[in-house]
């Protein structure tokens, strides 16, 4: 499989800009991160180039910490659209061909149908802007145990939203950790939604540590990823329980 390292979670024993070299030293050829926006695109591009890495994913701007995305928020449509333009600038500089949308959370008093309609409208807009640059958009379910009120907590719900949008370059990002936290079977999800899965992430559950720290059957789920013919990136997005290089048994030898 094609493994990538999420630099927001892995190699945090180093400053962020030094994590590129650390990932490359451990054998990774690809990285991802949630938010590149605190750094100049040229600096990130240099770190990628100097370490022979590609950036395979980052997120649209998500708002202030704790917002968990802008996509479903009716009052923040202008900010969402501005963020799409900003993300495209970074994608151009970094050579990234896939961008993730975090849907956002429902607040007390919200109309869920209105918030979902807002998400659909925003996804259609973002997908159209990205399509013009040859870039795919993915949407990521986030479990409602860790993030109560998240609008799209399961892959089945995300698939419904994708179908409702009806645009050709909108796909599913499947995180095995979030699926497990919702008591779903990741292998069943991967098989059921194989046609729309374009990016995969993983961590063990519960705890979000490296494989072997929780109850996720990685051998089974990695075998499913291969069996369905998935050829995209599979990104490690876990919190290492010790120095990252000491937790890569799954990378060197398989889960």
- For residue 140, indicate whether it is catalytic: yes
Structure-token pair, residue 137: 């958009």
Going by DSSP bridges, is the β-strand pair 136-139/233-236 parallel, antiparallel, or unpaired? unpaired
Which entry of 140, 184, 226, 246 is annotated as an active-site residue? 140
Question: Residue 253 and residue 255: Cα distance in Å, rounded?
Answer: 7
Question: Residue 114 and residue 118: Cα distance in Å, rounded?
Answer: 6
Question: Residue 122 and residue 87: Cα distance in Å, rounded?
Answer: 14
Q: ∠ CA 203-44-178 to the nearest 5 degrees?
A: 15
Which entry of 32, 136, 210, 237 is annotated as an active-site residue? 237
Q: ∠ CA 101-174-37 to the nearest 5 degrees?
A: 35
Question: Residue 89 and residue 6: Cα distance in Å, rounded?
Answer: 21
- For residue 160, indicate whether it is catalytic: no
Active site residues: 140, 237
């Amino acid at each position: 499989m094609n493994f990538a390292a999420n630099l927001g979670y892995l190699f945090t024993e180093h400053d962020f800009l030094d994590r590129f070299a650390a990932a490359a030293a451990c054998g990774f050829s690809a990285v991802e991160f949630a938010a590149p926006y605190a750094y100049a695109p040229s600096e990130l591009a240099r770190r990628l180039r100097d370490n022979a890495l590609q950036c395979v994913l980052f997120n649209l701007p998500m708002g202030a910490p704790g917002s968990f995305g802008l996509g479903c928020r009716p009052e923040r449509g202008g900010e969402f659209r501005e963020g799409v333009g900003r993300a495209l600038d970074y994608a151009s500089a970094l050579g990234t061909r896939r961008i993730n949308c975090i849907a956002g959370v429902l607040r007390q008093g919200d109309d869920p149908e209105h918030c979902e309609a807002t998400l659909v409208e925003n996804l259609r807009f973002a997908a159209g802007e990205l399509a013009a640059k040859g870039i795919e958009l993915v949407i990521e379910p986030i479990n409602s145990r860790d993030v109560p009120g998240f609008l799209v907590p399961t892959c089945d719900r995300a698939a419904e939203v994708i179908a409702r949008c009806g645009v050709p370059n909108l796909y599913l990002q499947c995180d095995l950790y979030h699926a497990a936290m919702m008591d779903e079977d990741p292998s069943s999800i991967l098989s059921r939604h194989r046609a729309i899965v374009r990016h995969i992430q993983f961590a063990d559950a519960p705890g979000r540590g490296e494989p072997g720290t929780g109850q996720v059957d990685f051998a089974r789920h990695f075998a499913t990823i291969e069996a369905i013919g998935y050829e995209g990136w599979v990104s490690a997005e876990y919190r290492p329980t010790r120095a990252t290089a000491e937790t890569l048994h799954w990378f060197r030898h398989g889960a």
